A and B are shown apart, each in its own frame.
Chain A
Amino acid sequence: MSKITTTLAELSELADRVNGNAGQVRRGRFVELEFLLQIGDEAHYLCISHGQLTAITPGPLLMRPWRFAIRIQADAWQRFCQPMPRPGYHDLFAMCKLGVAGIEGDIQPLIANLRYFQEMLAMARPESSPESQHASHGAAHVG
């Protein structure tokens, strides 16, 4: 991959993958919130209802509230999205410990539904599909 930003179109594709995966939707059936996903300089608000990713709003928008934020440096996100990521870039918390990602805000719903959000991030990998997912960072599409 040469680009290091995440576009609205790519996140729309992510939404299709999440919403088209019955196991993932079931896993997130109690998730009702909007969170901020910031990749490098690009911020998007992702709205989730009953496990479905229902809306993606480009940001930043002044005074727009969010429940929690996941912020990942652009280069780290590029590494994370590799089919076989290198150590340190294979998991959200690995990147947090490395200092290239962070979580903030009211993280209770993130922690209470951690597997749901981990799998959602893994679905951003270009090769991601229910059949081919190699299950990095707990992200296999096993029901």
Chain B
Amino acid sequence: MLPMGPPMLAELEPVTGRYMRLEIQGRQNRVYFEQAGQGIPLLCLHTAGADGSQFRHLLNDPEITRNYHVIAFDMPWHGKSLPPVGYHLEEYRLTTDLYVDTVMAVCRGLELEQPVIMGCSMGGRIVLQLALTHGADLRAVIGLESADHQEPWYDTDWLHRPDVHGGEVSAALVSGLVAPQAPAEYRWETLWGYLQSGPGVFKGDLYFYRADSDYRDRVGAIDTAQCPVYLLTGEYDFSCTPEDTLRTAERIKGAQASIMEGLGHFPMSEDPRQFRRYIMPILDQIRG
């Protein structure tokens, strides 16, 4: 028997978490996603080595969910999504093709009509490719900490080896990408995503980010009249720097780019209040 006392009701968020089963490149995947709201589908793509919980503040924002059906899923290998069967026999490596196929499988699987796709970091990279190859099916893309290329600048072998804890080192490395102004609560929540990531997953994502997504020669072909492109980058991001983003925007005719003050590489999770200042006008503009 539970002890009797005054009822302590939980505060239930207006966010629903579910699993979907999807075939991606011929393999079955069990993919976790969260959603809230109604209206224009807004599909959110998390950063490398993390999961969709980075978008929980958007999912809980009534001003956003009043007009947008916000969906955030964990990529296979990430968060509560499983790696596909046989994962133990392979090295995880995300590629442009696999990433595009994964995102589009989610769009089709959930019957998202003309969604807005917003991605951060590696998610910000892939939205450029999606705007190029699937622009007719998208209402707009928003690239957070987004650029068409990044020169490798450190040895990612440190992220997955037996004498270094992969989660600890991943979190420590990205901790400097969070702006110093970020509230401690949200800084450490953001880092938790990295602390608990599966072995080699961050490194496998960075294969895409470093080695298989040099889009410098193709972003100029994006038709922003068909699929508008919005780019937002935090001033403290030294991975995807403001210069990287502005350089990319210059190559995409019609792209809109802004540099966000007091924010780093994880704007939606490190300081959601500050991020609102920048994302709300864009969401209003897309809604028209």
Contacts and interface: CB of A to CB of B under 8 A. Distances in A.
Interface of A: 84-85, 87-88, 90-94, 97-98, 108, 111-112, 114-115, 118, 134-140, 142
B1 to A, nearest CB: 36
A118 B172 CA distance: 8
A118 B174 CA distance: 12
A132 B33 CA distance: 38
Given A91-B176, A94-B238, 9 more contacts: A85-B180, A91-B175, A93-B238, A97-B153, A112-B168, A115-B168, A135-B182, A137-B178, A138-B191
A114 B163 contact: no
B175 A98 contact: no
A140 B184 contact: yes
A138 B238 contact: no
B168 A114 contact: yes
A111 B169 contact: yes
A85 B187 CA distance: 17
Contact of A138 (B165, B172, B181, B235): B172
B164 A90 contact: no
Q: What interface size band does chain B fall in?
A: 20 to 34
A64 B268 CA distance: 47
B171 interface: yes
Contacts of A108: 163-164
A93 B168 CA distance: 16
A81 B245 CA distance: 28
Contacts of A97: 153, 238
Contact of A115 (B171, B235, B238): B171
Contacts of B180: 84-85, 90, 134-137
Instruction: Indicate the member of A94, A115, A138 with the most B CB atoms within 10 Å.
Output: A138
Contacts, number: 71
Contact of B176 (A111, A137, A142): A137
A114 B169 contact: yes
B158 A87 contact: no
Contact of B236 (A87, A111, A115, A140): A87
B188 interface: yes
A112 B169 contact: yes
A7 to B, nearest CB: 25
A69 to B, nearest CB: 17
A114 B163 CA distance: 13
B87 interface: no
Interface string B143-166: 000000000011000100001110
B172 A90 contact: no
B173 interface: yes
B184 A114 contact: no
A138 B175 contact: yes
A90 to B, nearest CB: 5
Nearest first, the 6 A-B pairs at minimum CB distance are A138-B175, A91-B176, A114-B172, A136-B180, A137-B176, A94-B238
B188 A92 contact: no
24 contacts: A87-B238, A88-B238, A90-B179, A91-B238, A93-B154, A93-B176, A94-B238, A108-B164, A111-B158, A111-B169, A114-B169, A115-B168, A118-B172, A134-B181, A135-B182, A135-B184, A136-B180, A137-B176, A137-B178, A137-B180, A138-B171, A138-B178, A140-B184, A140-B187
Given A94-B238, A118-B175, A135-B187, A112 B182 contact: no
Given A88-B238, A135-B182, A115 B188 contact: no
Contact of A93 (B163, B173, B181): B173
A107 to B, nearest CB: 8
Given A137-B180, A138-B172, A112 B188 contact: no
A88 B158 CA distance: 22
B236 A90 contact: yes
A97 B153 CA distance: 7
